[in-house]
């Protein structure tokens, strides 16, 4: 075993799918993907755990393959969190630091952050991130990094990201039951942004939209920093379910219609019918206009809600670098055209790029979150310990079902 190698793991626990990316990190901080996998999720509702055993067993099952591929056991990870309880709050804090000659140090920064956060975020919320937007020294603002600068009064403006505590706790419990410690919980759209945005885009102003199965979330960046995050509790599965209800068909058939025949471009002339199955045998014929009406109504609603959020955050039509779409929902054909019309902004599909190793297969919009999580773990030096392996596969499995059974008995 090469003991100089450091590893990081990103674990995206979605409502419909769970994905993992394991990467090695070289001394310059470059990532090379050594293992990845995706599998069906379970026990998740609208981005949050509805029970513990479902996500725990789904994580355990999915990770096994990624671990075999990487030849490495995952003991901890950066984990995605989702759900409409996630929100950002703008806060401010001010402290006196001494005389005008005082040089600002790390302790001062911690103290001003404490003042900016404590009491501003309700007690039933976990703070997931505090993004300093701007500092001011003795009333002079516009300072990005005040370390070492002189002043007597330090002020800070920040963007604080939080989520309901029970959602955070339950997610950590679910990953722990799969023998993975969640080192940090990061909103899925924020980790996706890490994987698909350039520094220039973040500087000029850009939004990322993660359209998943049951949630659609948006994060806005400007001046290099996160400015806003919000989650709409509806996603691409709502499109499927609407089709299943209106056409009175099985959801799996509705999913097939959505994936094979629906596009986000509702203005072009297409054949008036959608045919599925073998002619003269099991063929089913659907009225395309009816299908399109159902899909468009739901997409209008979801993107309308996103637009409302952007407007409330004052970023509606104020994004020079446009919008980057990620998540499984971004795979609908021409969804970028639909989003462009709906949000009146330039829209592109985002894929994680620039990784070494076996990265081809994960350069897809639905892997942006897992890749971003691994990148964040590497940036923050949260490596997975090497050695001290979990029990060998054959031995490990009895251990986990035992744990799962214990969890089950609580429900
Ligand atoms: N080719 C495709 N065309 C249209 N939709 C697709 C396609 N491929 C996947 N999807 C949709 O993407 C969704 C799954 O996306 P994803 O895996 O990002 O969700 P998730 O992370 O599990 O959910 P969430 O983030 O809401 O918790 C499903 O609704 C699926 O129907
Ligand atoms: Mg997701």
| 44-76 pLDDT per residue, tens | 999 999 999 999 999 999 999 999 998 889 999
Instruction: Using the mean position of ligand 1's atoms as its centre, give its distance from the Cα of residue 261 in Å.
Output: 16
| Superfamily of domain 225-349 in the CATH hierarchy | ATPase, nucleotide binding domain (3.30.420.40)
CATH 3.30.1490.110 fits 87-165, yes or no: yes
Residue nearest to atom 7 of ligand 1 (CA): 331
d(CA 354, CA 114): 36
> Measured in angstroms, how far is the CA atom of residue 284 from the centroid of ligand 2?
32
Q: Are 84 and 233 in contact (CB under 8 A)?
A: yes
DSSP state of 382: -
pLDDT for position 390: 54
SS3 158: strand
Residue of 213, 239, 294 best suited for mutating to test ligand 1, as the one with most atoms within 8 Å of CB: 213
Find the 345 Cα to ligand 2 centroid distance in Å: 23
Pick the CATH number of 6-83+167-194+353-409 from 3.30.420.40, 3.20.20.70, 3.30.70.100, 3.30.200.20: 3.30.420.40
Q: What is the pLDDT of residue 100?
A: 84
Q: Which residues are registered as beta bridge partners of 150?
A: 103
| 259: its two tokens | 């994936």
Question: 171 CB under 6 A from ligand 1?
Answer: no
Q: How many Cβ atoms from other residues are within 10 Å of residue 101's Cβ?
A: 8
Q: Is the CB of 366 under 6 A from ligand 1?
A: yes
188 lines ligand 1 (CB under 6 A): yes
Who contacts 282 (Cβ-Cβ below 8 Å, separation ≥6)?
none
Give residue 357's pLDDT. 85
Nearest CA to ligand 1 atom 15: 328
Atom of ligand 1 nearest to the CA of 188: 25
Q: How far is the CA of 215 from the centre of ligand 1 (A)?
A: 10
* The pair of three-digit structure tokens given for residue 276, joined into one six-digit string: 């599925």
> Ligand 2 mean position to 188 CA, how many Å?
6
Instruction: Evaluate: CB of 332 within 6 angstroms of ligand 1.
Output: yes
Residue 34 is given by DSSP the state: E
Cβ distance 279 to 273 under 8 Å? no
Whose Cα sits closest to atom 21 in ligand 1? 14
Ligand 1 atom closest to the CA of 327, numbered from 1:
18
Q: Give the domain ranges of the chain.
A: 6-83+167-194+353-409, 87-165, 225-349
> Are 218 and 207 a contacting pair, CB within 8 Å?
yes
- Indicate which residue's Cα is closest to atom 19 of ligand 1: 212
The ligand minimizing its distance to the Cα of 231 is 1
Query: Among 156, 163, 92, which Cα is nearest to 122's?
Result: 163
Beta strands in 234-337 (DSSP E): 273-276, 284-287, 323-326
How far is the centre of ligand 2, averaged over its atoms, from the C-alpha of 289 (Å)?
30
Which mutation among 11, 15, 16 tests ligand 1's pocket best, with the greatest number of atoms within 8 A of CB?
16
Q: What is the DSSP letter of 152?
A: S
Interatomic CA distance for residues 183 and 165, integer angstroms: 16
Nearest to 327, CA basis, from 249, 219, 241, 200: 219
State if residue 242 touches ligand 1 by the CB under 6 angstroms criterion: no
Ligand nearest to the CA of 16: 1
Q: Tell me, yes or no, if the two domains 6-83+167-194+353-409 and 87-165 fold the same way.
A: no
Q: How far apart are CA 187 and CA 13, in angstroms?
A: 11
Residues 21-31 have pLDDT tens digits of: 999 999 889 99
Q: For the chain, which ranges sit under pLDDT 70?
A: 1-4, 386-411
Confidence (pLDDT) at 269 = 84
Q: How far does residue 326's CA lie from ligand 1's centre (Å)?
A: 10
Pairing of strands 17-25, 6-13: antiparallel
Q: Which ligand has the nearest atom to the CA of 41?
A: 1
Query: Which of left, alpha, beta for 142 (phi over 0: left; psi -120 to 50: alpha)?
Result: left
Report the separation in Å between the CA atom of 348 and the middle of ligand 2, taken as the mean of its atom positions. Answer: 18
Provide the β-strand partners of residue 209. 218, 325
User: Residue 333 CA: which ligand 1 atom is closest?
Assistant: 3
Give the closest residue to 250 by CA, choosing from 296, 289, 284, 287. 284
Q: What is the pLDDT of residue 358?
A: 84
Is 41 a pocket residue for ligand 1 (Cβ < 6 Å)?
Answer: yes
Ligand 2 centre and the CA of 194: distance in Å? 14
Given CA atoms 326, 329, 334, 339 in this order, what sign does their dihedral have? negative
């Amino acid at each position: 075993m090469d003991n100089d190698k450091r590893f990081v793991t990103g674990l995206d626990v979605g409502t419909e799918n769970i994905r993992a990316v394991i990467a090695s990190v070289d001394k310059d901080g470059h990532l090379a993907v050594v293992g990845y996998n995706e599998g069906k999720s379970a026990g998740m509702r609208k981005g949050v755990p509805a029970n513990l055993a479902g996500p725990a067993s789904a994580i355990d099952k999915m990770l096994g393959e990624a671990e075999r591929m990487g030849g490495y056991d995952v003991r901890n990870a950066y984990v995605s969190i989702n759900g409409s309880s996630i929100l950002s709050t703008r806060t401010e804090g001010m402290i006196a630091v001494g005389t005008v000659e005082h040089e600002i140090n790390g302790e001062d920064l911690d103290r001003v952050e404490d003042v900016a956060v404590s009491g501003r975020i309700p007690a039933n919320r976990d703070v997931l991130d505090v993004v300093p937007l701007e500092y001011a020294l003795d009333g002079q603002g516009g300072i990005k990094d005040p370390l070492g600068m002189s002043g007597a009064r330090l002020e800070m403006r920040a963007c604080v990201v939080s989520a309901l505590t029970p959602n955070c706790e339950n997610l950590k419990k679910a990953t722990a039951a799969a023998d993975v410690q969640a080192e940090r919980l990061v909103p899925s759209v924020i980790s996706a942004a890490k994987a698909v945005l350039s520094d220039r885009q973040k500087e000029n102003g850009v939004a990322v939209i993660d359209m998943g199965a049951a949630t659609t979330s948006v994060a806005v960046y400007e001046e290099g920093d996160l400015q806003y995050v919000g989650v709409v509790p509806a996603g691409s599965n709502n499109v499927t379910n609407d089709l299943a209800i209106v056409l009175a068909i099985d959801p799996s058939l509705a999913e097939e219609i959505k994936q094979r025949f629906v596009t986000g471009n509702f203005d072009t002339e297409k054949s008036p019918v959608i045919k599925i199955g073998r002619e003269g045998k099991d063929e089913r014929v659907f009225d395309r206009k009816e299908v399109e009406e159902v899909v468009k109504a739901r997409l209008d609603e979801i993107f309308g809600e996103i637009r409302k959020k952007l407007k409330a955050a004052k970023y509606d039509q104020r994004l020079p670098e446009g919008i980057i779409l990620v998540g499984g929902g971004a795979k609908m054909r021409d969804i970028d055209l639909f989003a462009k019309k709906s949000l009146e902004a330039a829209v592109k599909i985002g894929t994680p790029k620039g990784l070494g190793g076996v990265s081809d297969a994960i350069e897809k919009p639905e892997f942006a979150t897992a890749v971003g999580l691994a990148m964040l773990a590497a940036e923050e030096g949260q490596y997975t310990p090497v050695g001290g392996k979990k029990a060998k596969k054959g031995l490990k499995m009895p251990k986990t079902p035992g744990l799962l059974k214990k969890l089950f008995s609580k429900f």
